[in-house]
Amino acid sequence: MIDRSPVGPDTVGVDPHRLDVLLRRIRLEVDHGPLPSAQVAVARGGRLVAFETWGDAAPDTRYVLQSVGRSIVAGVVWKLIGEGLLDVGEQVAAIVPEFAPNGKETVTVEQVLTHTAGFPFAPLGLSKALDREQRLAAFGRWRLDQPPGSRFQFHLTSAAWLIAEIVERRTGLTFAAYLRQRIAGPLGLSSLELGVPVDRQPGSVAPMTATDRSSDDQEADPWGPWYLSDPRVLAAGEPSHALVATAADVALYFQALEHSGLWKPEAVAEGTRIRLTEHPYGDRLYGGGSGRRTSMGLFVTVAGPDAGSNLPSTGSPALFGSAGAAYQLGFMDPETGLSFACLSNGYPLAGYDHSRRGTALLTNIANLAADLTD
């Protein structure tokens, strides 16, 4: 069980003055900027140092994690690796035979975890997502866009659905149940949940809110993060984006990787070891088109030499985590022991903010957060 009681920043080596600058910078975007609410947490040494919520949200409000949740999905996989239940060199089809048709029998678990498996846009609509048998049938119909291992291109939703099935085959528990029973429950991370039922979402999960709507008749782009504004989609529990939690539980989850004893240290080290450093292929809307290379561990981005994919450049090369559309970030720096989470329910109508100001905002927050220790 993680100790959730906060401690003073000085007691764990966090500079209180730098922390104050970070918190004021984020709050500025709520008080005088576009964000309807924001929630931030900082932790170090297994303890929570700061947990603040501003704007139109209660202190215990949970947020849709979007891509920040990938680090939690990764942690489930690392736990299985450490327990000898999964080897990344295995072929996926040996675990999930339904996946094999259409030339996919050679795809490995590692290729799925590093977004090099070759099916980045494999489709899975809402009706299929809600029914396991339909999901399995869809896996079989999926086709490769390129040979496995030949291209690094983010598999935005397809990889996580497959990872969830692999977890279920190896543990006998659905991904959501495994997360609840083997990780969130034992650690006391009560806000962390996948597949929140529709009737429990109001008042519990911050609703997605447009930051740039000028009139009521403006429609949001249904693709990108806005697809999760449909309560049915959030309830369906797509693992890579539909996790919900408070910022405190995200920051403490990262601490638990090191301090809880639930994970073998060598499994975490293997999960965060860089497998590739390349420019992601594809349009910017789907994670490509970046000026910096991205380094990949096992389903997490690692700062590496370029600190790509919106990770901070002020941390160590070993820092790992993920940014989430549009103004979210979660990371852990193993060298400093610092973890950080910033969550918001504000989104542009287009779904992503690739403006100069939007890019600079996330960059500034990330770099301030990673620079809280000497």
pLDDT per position as a tens digit, 205-217 = 999 999 998 777 7
Whole-number Å distance between alpha carbons of 266 and 75: 13
Closest by Cα among 152, 190, 148, 361 to 277: 152
Side-chain-side CA neighbours of residue 113 (13 Å): 32
For 97-122, how does the pLDDT look when each residue is reduced to its tens digit (9 = 90+)?
999 999 999 999 999 999 999 999 99
- What's the pLDDT score for residue 285? 62
9-81+174-371 CATH: 3.40.710.10
Q: Give pTM, 2 decimals.
A: 0.96
Whole-number Å distance between alpha carbons of 287 and 301: 12
Where b means 16+ CB within 10 Å and e means fewer, 226-255 reads bbbbebebbbbbbbbbbbbbbbbbbbbbbb
Residues 6+ apart with CB under 8 A from 222: none
For 147-177, how does the pLDDT look when each residue is reduced to its tens digit (9 = 90+)?
999 999 999 889 999 999 999 999 999 999 9
Residue 96: CB atoms within 10 A of its CB come to 18
Residue 192: CB atoms within 10 A of its CB come to 24
Give the mean pLDDT of the chain: 94
For 322-352, how does the pLDDT look when each residue is reduced to its tens digit (9 = 90+)?
998 889 999 999 999 999 999 999 999 999 8
